[in-house]
Copies of this chain bind each other. A is one copy, B any other.
Amino acid sequence: RQSLKIGMLPADGIGREVLPGAKAAILALGSSIPKTEFIDLLAGFEYFTKTGTALPDETVQILQSECDCALFGAVSSPSRKVTGYSSPIVALRKKMDLYANIRPVKSVSMNPKGEPGVDLVVIRENTECLYVKQETQTVGEHGKEARATRLITERASRRIGELAFKMALERPRKHLTVIHKSNVLSITDGLFRETVRAVPTLPGMDGKYDDVTVAEQLVDSAVYRLFREPEIYDVMVAPNLYGDILSDAAAALVGSLGLVPSVNAGDSFVMGEPVHGSAPDIAGQNIANPLAAIRSAAMMLRHIGYGDGADRIERAVDSVLREGKVLTPDLGGKSKTSEVVDEVTKRI
């Protein structure tokens, strides 16, 4: 690549405060990555309240036709049902076919509470399950009745399963846990479980995954065990909603949601996204933790082939954390967002 075009979608709340930090970290890499252009793109709940659309067609079009990758901030949720509103991040994942949400959760030694060592990745299917948003409402004998469809397909389960096995194979422990609730959802979660487990037996695999050990766990007991013995997990693969919940649960183990990055990845595009939300309660105060966004930028760069740049960013973040002097309030520190960003970029 001669140059790099990165779509920037800060969206709402602290999304707007952390994305500049990600940009600063990327710029700090200097000439070790191609000349980078950042393209600001519109999306979000606030944008919806102004215009009636949460994700303008133009944003999707520019992402598809001009950008090499993207960074998303966070999106606010309406506090009451708002007609016509639909989450732009859910829509983006589907429209760009970003079928995998990869969420690594790892404790750094600075961890103030001495919590157990956590080093796991949640791989969340990103396009279906209850997120297909097929909902209806009728009125029955006893009042309103609402129904949502939960879709699980063999195709989506297989591709997320393939990615999960691939990632497990690349990690030292090579352990994969398949999350489901097939004791209740025997057909949908049954399909997910069987399809993921069958990945190593697909034509052409030829024993490729022989070294990966596979376990499975019901989602309720997975959350329980995640709290009690997080060290048993390496790679976890889960349908969309369970993955959403599990990654927040795992984030609680490493001190703050403000540390946990993710990428939304498809076969031809990747979008980094901190796992935290738009945090309206602290927005506008310059105290949001920028590290999840910065780490998401690193993951995104790694994904498109700039592993060295990603390493430099990640090492800088880890060293700031390990030192523990310049931290935002969510980690018990007193520093501002911008101070943490400066501290990281200085070390890149």
Contact = CB atoms under 8 A, between A and B. Distances in A.
Interface in A193-249: 194-195, 218-221, 223-228, 241, 244-245, 247-249
Nearest to A75: B183
A272 B136 CA distance: 35
A240 to B, nearest CB: 9
A257 interface: yes
A185 B130 contact: yes
Nearest to A255: B228
Contact of A184 (B87, B137, B145): B87
A196 to B, nearest CB: 13
A185 B135 contact: yes
Interface residues of A, number: 62
Contacts of A153: 140, 142-146
A261 to B, nearest CB: 16
A262 to B, nearest CB: 13
B249 A148 contact: no
B142 A155 contact: yes
Contact of A147 (B151, B183, B186): B151
B146 A184 contact: no
A245 B223 contact: yes
Given A85-B186, A149-B149, A150-B150, 11 more contacts: A133-B185, A140-B153, A145-B151, A146-B187, A147-B152, A148-B149, A149-B150, A220-B248, A221-B277, A223-B245, A226-B252
Contact of A223 (B149, B195, B249): B249
B187 A136 contact: yes
A268 to B, nearest CB: 18
A131 interface: yes
A66 interface: no
A226 B154 CA distance: 34
Interface string A79-94: 0010001110010000
Nearest to A242: B245
Contact of A191 (B137, B140, B190, B220): B137
A63 interface: no
Contacts of A252: 223-228
A335 interface: no
A107 B254 CA distance: 23
A317 to B, nearest CB: 21
Given A154-B144, A224-B251, A228-B252, A190 B81 contact: yes
A253 B13 CA distance: 31
Contacts of A186: 81, 85-86, 135
A13 to B, nearest CB: 13
A341 to B, nearest CB: 24
A244 B220 contact: yes
A120 to B, nearest CB: 15
A146 B152 contact: yes
Contact of A220 (B181, B183, B220, B245): B245
Most chain B beta-carbon neighbours within 10 Å: one of A155, A194, A224? A224
A77 interface: yes
B187 A135 contact: yes
Nearest to A90: B184
